């Protein structure tokens, strides 16, 4: 057996049903529908536009117009800051997908700017997977990583005509135009609009452009992409999208990487079906950690090991994943994020049933998902990745990062050592999605400063009580999911990812 992506005859009706159901839900809920994106000829990245290729490859009455090249940044950005002025130069933190990326200002507040690209909506490529989503994400990433300068700007139509950034409908991301150039010392005419480039290449329809500053350019680019049948508008299948049905396997096969015949196999990108228990809920909205104890026999004897997996839902809340102890059948696509496996593109509905929706097989199995208890040294091990653990740690340092869109929520990384053995290291990760709003919490834990009287958890510490308690934090007890983190320098570290704020307890000194 050489490949498991097509173990059964392909039944196209499954993907058609799944996509049709997804679009029907969106149409009923919002009256909107998903569309495609488009590309351009430009000075960056150094690739030939599919739009121009299509126009040059056939005798067409359509004369290709490079709207990206014709569209310019209309406002000066130098000596301005995006978070204050609605325009400013930034650096890339990370590209998320086709229409989302995170940035930091080159001057002023250096908190994370979560940018949602204005006037477009690319296919999904993270928690949900849709045709042309992977291509859109790569196209966006090519521009961002090759740019020598990046500028974010806000459309005045989004902020009531005021010169300040505007938030999207989630309240957690900024609506942005992303301008890039590969010129070392650029003028504003050297920048091109990545949002528009995606639209011109047929990766997204123009969305919500009415009354916007560049409305005509987006509308014309989208019409041209549709006429040239680019990407989302084409009759072709996306070569990067997996249209197959899932293969039924178990978590051990996914985590250890072998196929149904025992051969080495990388499941990333494959569709799978497996059974597991919900072990932890969060920290991302809708997401969950699941696990299962798998038993097998080989030449060395009988074995049982717990294997875990993170289920990322693109912030959609699905009922089966919200109760610890639920035993589920889960179908989705295996993905990898920062060295950790996860399953994405799962689905569930009480009303629009699909053959590959999650299924609740039984409930109430909390005894099957009790967290492992051990030391930092025990858990700094790939064996426990994506499983729930409980450990006692002493904080020695760390940092907090502000989510600038909220101005209150912080993510924390706490550097820790084992309570009883300082030679063992294990860090703590607290996501800003848990809405830990009190930045001094980090300082108090790290520097052993007294907390407010009666407080025991981070959740309680944000209440800012009036009377101080002179006791200090001796150590931290935490229950969370064990994950691996690879630094920018390639160093592998291990972290306990806090899923619920109540699962971190501060143990105070006697006096």
Q: What is the pLDDT of residue 309?
A: 98
Q: Which pLDDT score, from 0 to 100, does residue 194 have? A: 98
333, β-bridge pairs = 271, 344
What's the topology of domain 372-508?
A: OB fold (Dihydrolipoamide Acetyltransferase, E2P) (2.40.50)
Query: Which CA distances in Å does 245 have to 20, 25, 311, 354?
Result: 16, 22, 19, 12
Give the class (CATH, top level) of 34-233.
mainly beta
The pLDDT assigned to 12 comes to 37
pLDDT value at position 38?
35
Q: How far is CA 254 from CA 67, 204, 281, 457, 488, in A?
A: 45, 33, 21, 36, 26
Residue 471: the pLDDT is 57
Provide the Cα torsion 133, 135, 136, 137; round to 10°: 90
pLDDT digits (tens, 9 = 90+) for 22-37: 443 433 333 333 333 3
Domain boundaries, the chain: 34-233, 247-369, 372-508
Cβ-based neighbours of 169, under 8 Å, separated by 6 or more: none
pLDDT in tens, 445-480: 555 544 444 444 443 443 343 334 455 678 889 999
Query: Which CATH code is given to the segment(s) 247-369?
Result: 2.40.50.140
DSSP state of 381: S
Each residue's pLDDT tens digit, 248-280? 999 999 999 999 898 999 999 999 999 999 999
Contact 256, 250 (CB under 8 A): no
The ranges of the chain with pLDDT < 50 are 1-14, 16-48, 58-59, 437-439, 449-469
Q: Over the stretch 181-195, which tens digit does the pLDDT of each residue have? A: 999 999 999 999 999
Query: What pLDDT, on a 0 to 100 scale, did the predictor assign at position 162?
Result: 73
- Measured CA to CA in angstroms, residue 126 lies from 62, 311, 368, 415 at distances of 35, 11, 29, 29
């Amino acid at each position: 057996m050489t490949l498991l992506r097509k173990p059964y005859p392909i039944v196209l009706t499954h993907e058609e049903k799944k996509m049709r159901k997804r679009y029907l839900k969106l149409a009923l809920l919002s009256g909107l529908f998903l569309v495609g994106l488009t590309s351009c000829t430009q000075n960056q990245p150094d690739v030939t536009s599919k739009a121009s290729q299509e126009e040059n490859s056939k005798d067409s009455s359509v004369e290709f117009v490079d709207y990206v090249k014709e569209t310019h940044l209309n406002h000066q950005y130098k000596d301005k800051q995006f978070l204050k002025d609605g325009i400013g130069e930034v650096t890339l933190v990370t590209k998320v997908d086709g229409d989302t990326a995170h940035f930091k200002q080159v001057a002023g507040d250096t908190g994370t700017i979560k940018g949602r690209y204005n006037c477009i909506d690319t296919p999904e490529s993270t928690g949900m997977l849709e045709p042309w989503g992977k291509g859109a994400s790569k196209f966006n990433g090519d521009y961002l990583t090759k740019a020598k300068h990046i500028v974010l700007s806000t459309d005045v139509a989004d902020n009531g005509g005021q010169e300040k950034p505007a938030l999207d409908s989630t309240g957690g991301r900024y609506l942005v135009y992303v301008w890039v150039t590969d010129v070392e010392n650029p003028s504003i005419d050297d920048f091109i609009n990545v949002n528009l480039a995606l639209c011109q290449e047929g990766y997204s329809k123009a969305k919500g452009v009415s009354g916007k500053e560049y409305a005509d350019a987006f509308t014309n680019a989208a019409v041209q992409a549709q006429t040239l049948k680019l990407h989302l508008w084409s009759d072709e299948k996306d070569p990067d999208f997996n249209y197959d049905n899932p293969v039924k396997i178990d978590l051990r096969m996914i985590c250890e990487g072998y196929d149904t015949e025992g051969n080495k196999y990388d499941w990333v990108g494959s569709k799978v079906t497996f059974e597991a228990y919900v072990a932890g809920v969060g920290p991302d909205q809708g997401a969950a950690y699941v696990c299962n104890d798998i038993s097998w026999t080989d030449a060395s004897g009988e074995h049982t090991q717990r294997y875990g997996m993170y289920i990322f839902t693109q912030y959609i809340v699905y009922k089966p994943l919200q109760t610890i102890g639920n035993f589920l059948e889960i179908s989705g696509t295996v993905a990898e994020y920062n060295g950790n496996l996860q399953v994405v593109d799962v689905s569930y509905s009480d009303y629009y049933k699909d053959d590959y929706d999650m299924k609740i097989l039984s409930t109430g199995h909390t005894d099957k998902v009790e967290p492992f208890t051990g030391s930092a040294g025990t858990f700094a091990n790939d064996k426990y990745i994506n499983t729930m653990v409980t450990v006692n740690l002493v904080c020695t340092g760390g940092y907090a990062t502000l989510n600038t869109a909220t101005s209150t929520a912080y993510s924390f990384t706490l550097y820790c050592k084992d309570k009883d053995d300082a030679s063992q290291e294990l860090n703590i990760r607290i996501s800003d999605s848990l809405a830990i709003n009190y930045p001094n919490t980090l300082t108090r834990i790290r520097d052993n400063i007294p907390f407010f009287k009666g407080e025991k958890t981070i959740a309680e510490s944000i209440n800012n009580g009036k009377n101080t308690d002179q006791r200090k934090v001796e150590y931290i007890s935490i229950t969370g999911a064990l994950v691996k983190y690879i630094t920018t320098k390639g160093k592998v570290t291990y972290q306990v990812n806090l899923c619920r704020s109540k699962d971190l307890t501060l143990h105070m000194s006697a006096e």
